[in-house]
Chains A and B, each alone.
Chain A
Amino acid sequence: MALQSLVALIKMELKKFIRQPADLFLNLLFPAVLTIVFIFAFADPELGMSINSVVPGLIVYAVIFVIMTIAQSFSTERQEGLLKRLNTTPMTSGEFMGSQIITHMLISFLQVIVVFTLAFLLGFRPDSGIQGIFLALPVTAIFSLSSVGLGLITATVSKTPEAATGISFVFILPQMFFGTFIPITSTTQQIAKFIPSYYLLDALKTIFEGDWMNTNIFLDLGVISIVSISVVIIGILLFEKYGSA
């Protein structure tokens, strides 16, 4: 893998992220606004929710929206002939997909930091202390791989960027309802066990509680890693075979 190509592609992706208001809104401003609104609206012991129980859900919520960003971005680049053009250069698919994965892991890092900082200013004090955030970052970054994979699958089946926006909700909505801050009942928990965000939520809650030795963390991390890596591999294979031209 050529470092020069990889760095150039990552720089391009980050410039795209910074210069496209819609991406900035969806990935940073939206989670920030949601953090403020949800903490004020729902972090109320009378409703059975505390700040500490809302924040992990907000982090998960932010990362699953990467699905839409990726799907829109790939569909637009395909529609404008950019993917074809990139394919005529010596760039390898490993460099291209590597740049996507690294960029979106960085964006997930940023999202966690934004949500965490705002939540901290509004009174969030995890039992884990600052160490919790350092552990939350890599776990969330691994989970972001599944969002990249689902984004690629969405782009593969979407003919236009508009269709990609709609279809991405097929993956976003279940994760939103069964794996964020929305309370899970014993019935919905059976469904939630098939949703990757459920495991991230569970891992983040345990991490912020400071319960480092809880075996659930390792179980969650195992599921997140296996599911995320599998989904991103499936996404890459499907996109390269059916979605890149």
Chain B
Amino acid sequence: MSSDIRSVLKQLDVKELYEIAKFKKINIPRNWSRTLIVELLALNVSTQDIRNFGTKPLEKRIESRDVSAIIVKDLVKQFEDVTAVDSLNLEIKQGELFSLLGPNGAGKTTTINILSGILKPTKGTAIIAGFDVTKNLEEIKTVIGVCPQEAAVFKFLNARENIELFGNLHGIPKKELEERTDTFLELLGLAEASKRMAKGYSGGMLRKLNLIIALISDPKIAFLDEPTVGMDPRARRKTWEFIGSLKDQNKTIVLTTHYIEEAEALSDRVGIIDYGKLIELGTPQELMEKYETKNLEQVFLKITGRRILEGI
């Protein structure tokens, strides 16, 4: 029974866990991790309690993992003579960590830019959390977080000021924003440098700050475009762990990366894109079995290498 309730609780995000605790008059210290909160609630709360509590029916909440967070329909992006995205069709489930892989210039960033509303598609569309990118950009901006390829941070602001600026643009209440900022700075190891202006940061630190800004609004869907480029191996591993932990919060993550082992370790599914077309799709395991390789990197090289040799 306790393991049932635990699995139910794991589907909820931290805010909801705190709301349930408040509803059941259980006091949870502010600095507790999500795992500890789940454990405490599992001992004190029944499935019925959660059903009684929820304004959103719990079954629906859990069923929502099978709902598509992103649906891409016949998406095309043309830049003069170049077709950067060519009739792309794709479906990404809620709570899924999906990696988009491909060589340089394959169309990964253009795809992310369209999905996040930065670029308009030439043809086709995409539905993000139920909203159409060609019609409902304002709504989409409230549910997404974007970590761009370049470290787009204000260099004359310190890390805390940068994070709080973007948090304010998302309308997060002051106290909540301060708490979230502290948590993220601590988690990604930027707490000590948080009062130094970002122009003095190393490449890796800027990348971490770039990632925190993308996640400060607690988005349902996060687009992470090569988030670990320029980080040393240790920082990269730590960031992978952090990105992996976002899956527990039922967030949908679309990741592009050149570190294939990163995609292999983190992804539920992988899409390989080249010349703007989706040429392979599946779980890392499925792709490795299909191409009879030991790792995803070999799959990637087999697919994209062959296409280059064949001049496709």
B-facing residues in A1-25 (Cβ within 8 Å): 2, 4-5, 7-9, 11-12, 15-16, 19-20
Check B67 for interface membership: any CB of A closer than 8 A. Answer: no
Cβ contacts under 8 Å, B170 to chain A: 89-90
Q: How far is the CA of A5 from the CA of B138 in the complex (A)?
A: 15
Check A81 for interface membership: any CB of B closer than 8 A. Answer: yes
Cβ contacts under 8 Å, B165 to chain A: 8-9, 11-12
Contact pick for A84, options B144, B152, B169, CB 8 Å = B152
Check A193 for interface membership: any CB of B closer than 8 A. Answer: no
Q: Is the CB of B146 within 8 A of A90?
A: no
Q: How far is the CA of A81 from the CA of B150 in the complex (A)?
A: 7
* Inter-chain residue pair count (beta carbon < 8 A): 67
Check A87 for interface membership: any CB of B closer than 8 A. Answer: yes
Check A33 for interface membership: any CB of B closer than 8 A. Answer: no
Q: How far is the CA of A221 from the CA of B77 in the complex (A)?
A: 48
Q: How far is the CA of A19 from the CA of B200 in the complex (A)?
A: 13
Centre residue among A12, A84, A90 by max chain B CB count within 10 A = A90
Q: Is the CB of A85 within 8 A of B171?
A: no
Please judge, given known A-B contacts A12-B165, A81-B150, whether A88 and B138 are in contact too, CB under 8 Å: no
Contact pick for B168, options A8, A15, A19, A20, CB 8 Å = A8
Q: Would you give the 0/1 interface string for B201-240, flagging 1 where the beta carbon is closer than 8 Å to chain A?
A: 0000000000001000100000000000000000000000
Q: How far is the CA of A225 from the CA of B164 in the complex (A)?
A: 36
Q: Is the CB of B118 within 8 A of A15?
A: no
Q: Which residue of A lies closest to B143 (CB)?
A: A90
Contact pick for A88, options B118, B153, B154, B155, CB 8 Å = B118
Cβ contacts under 8 Å, B168 to chain A: 4-5, 7-8
Check B293 for interface membership: any CB of A closer than 8 A. Answer: no
Taking A15-B157, A20-B156, A87-B117 as known contacts, 7 extra A-B pairs with beta carbons closer than 8 A to each other, sorted by chain A number, are A4-B171, A7-B168, A19-B156, A80-B152, A81-B148, A89-B166, A90-B142
Q: Which residues of B does A touch, CB under 8 Å?
A: 113, 116-119, 138, 141-142, 144, 146, 148, 150, 152-157, 161, 164-166, 168-171, 197, 213, 217
List 16 A-B residue pairs with CB atoms under 8 Å apart, sorted by A's residue number.
Answer: A5-B171, A7-B168, A9-B165, A11-B165, A12-B154, A12-B165, A15-B156, A82-B152, A84-B148, A85-B213, A86-B169, A88-B117, A89-B141, A90-B169, A91-B169, A245-B118
